[in-house]
A and B are shown apart, each in its own frame.
Chain A
């Protein structure tokens, strides 16, 4: 279980994370959503100590992680797989070498590496690409390599940092399907950081909306979407959340409407018939 209490992270004078409190249960898929630059990736990086923080605590499986150092920190990170937005693959190495990177760092034997990589490549569906270089792969295939690499050390947690943001909708669906399967089949706890509402809607059990470095709303995904709170609407902009298209929430005061129409007419802008 991940327990975050009163987490405060500052970059110089700016508070990037402000009093974050949340619990992520074992086996759940938890979504952290917010607009760009709101601190969600920073929060995710605090979970595997890629970032340090100034106040508050993070406990993972009852261990306070803040003061973990050297060997203990490295051991701890083995349990926290991470998937990156831009895949973070070593371009000069093959898919096999990329997936095996963590194993090579931890001194596994060649036989073990071959066995584990081959098995996992099948799970993520890239068994026929093992000798390819990343430049010859599609975005979706690259992310599958990234996921396989993150899973190769059998972590209990998988941290996904905008892992579908660089992918087209169809590929996004296939990656989400894969994450869902991994969660259900191997009971991996997944923390997904994203700004894409459909990602959260498709796979997350619970979610937290981050606004201005703080948690604005947290709860079950269906509850938050049903409530359609101001925070969710701020986040989605004009995105259609319900079954039907409903633009009733966009209300422009009559005065502003007249002004805008006036400007458009004055500049002879035709904005549709």
Chain B
């Protein structure tokens, strides 16, 4: 059988399910990373020396944990997390295990992205909010996040694309999804058609994420 026909054979049975697995991994881990990242990023902003609730200890510890996790190369992080993944998820193989590893890997990224976006808000707006008697929670929710929303969307788009990259790497260590298909059915079986087809799908996903993010950004700006 030729390579082209194998591609057609694997398309409904392997590739299409892998697309859904990849999208599931990205979607769930993106939501989790963004939630945790927004919480930790806000804590970093609040506890900063010039923040609303300055706290050197919390700021230092959280900042350092964030930096240490970010320093890990993706592949090494996923492998290093295998024991922890087994404890939390019960297995180190499959989409759920990958979601756990990607979430841990991307949360520090989302944290810094949130911190960076909130830093773009004019500090006078915080003073203005304080001057009308707004509480810290109101300043965060009604000023910082409102004003930083377009930058947040832009930053999280970069993170989503980074996640796609991570999910493909996770495929190499048993996560499934498009990365696994490209490696096992494409690269290891010398089936270039499958490999490049998967790459093409990844490109389309990236373009879709980028295009959608641009529309949302323009609407919000």
Q: A residues engaging B (CB < 8 A)?
A: 45, 48, 50, 73-78, 80-82, 84, 86, 88, 90-93, 101-102, 104-106, 149-150, 153, 159
Contact = CB atoms under 8 A, between A and B. Distances in A.
B131 A77 contact: yes
Given A50-B127, A84-B127, A104-B142, A91 B132 contact: no
A88 B142 contact: no
A105 B147 contact: no
Contact of A82 (B128, B134, B138): B128
Interface string B166-206: 00000000000000000000000000000000000000000
A190 to B, nearest CB: 15
Contacts of A82: 128, 131-132
A150 B130 CA distance: 12
Interface residues of B, number: 21
Interface string B113-157: 000000000101101111111110010001100110110000000
Given A90-B146, A104-B142, A105-B138, A84 B124 contact: yes
Given A90-B125, A91-B147, A77 B133 contact: yes
A105 B127 contact: no
Contacts of A159: 131
B129 A101 contact: yes
B220 interface: yes
Contact of B142 (A48, A77, A101): A101
A180 B146 CA distance: 34
Given A84-B128, A88-B128, A74 B143 contact: no
Given A77-B130, A92-B146, 16 more contacts: A48-B131, A50-B130, A76-B133, A78-B132, A81-B131, A81-B132, A82-B132, A88-B122, A92-B149, A101-B132, A102-B132, A102-B133, A105-B133, A149-B128, A149-B132, A159-B131
Interface of B: 122, 124-125, 127-135, 138, 142-143, 146-147, 149-150, 220-221
Tell me the interface secondary structure of chain B in the complex: helix
A104 B127 CA distance: 17
B125 A88 contact: yes
Contacts of B142: 101, 104-105
A50 B131 contact: yes
Given A105-B138, A105-B142, A90 B131 contact: no
B147 A92 contact: yes
B127 A88 contact: yes
A78 B220 CA distance: 31
Contacts of A84: 124, 127-128
A86 B132 contact: no
A51 to B, nearest CB: 10
Contact of B133 (A75, A90, A91): A75
A112 to B, nearest CB: 16
Contacts of A73: 133
Contact of B134 (A80, A86, A91, A105): A105
A105 B129 contact: yes
Contacts of A91: 147
A80 B131 contact: yes
Q: Which 5 A-B pairs rank lowest in CB-CB distance, beginning with the nearest?
A: A102-B132, A74-B133, A88-B128, A82-B131, A77-B133
- Quick one: which of B132, B133, B142 has the most chain A CB within 10 A? B132
A50 B143 CA distance: 17
A106 B133 contact: yes
A62 to B, nearest CB: 20
A91 B147 CA distance: 7
A146 to B, nearest CB: 8
A90 B147 contact: yes
Nearest to B130: A50
A54 B156 CA distance: 43
A74 B221 CA distance: 31
A106 B133 CA distance: 8
30 contacts: A48-B131, A50-B130, A73-B133, A74-B133, A74-B134, A78-B133, A81-B132, A82-B131, A82-B132, A84-B124, A84-B127, A84-B128, A86-B124, A88-B124, A88-B125, A88-B127, A91-B147, A92-B220, A93-B146, A101-B129, A101-B132, A101-B134, A101-B142, A102-B133, A105-B135, A105-B138, A105-B142, A149-B132, A150-B132, A159-B131
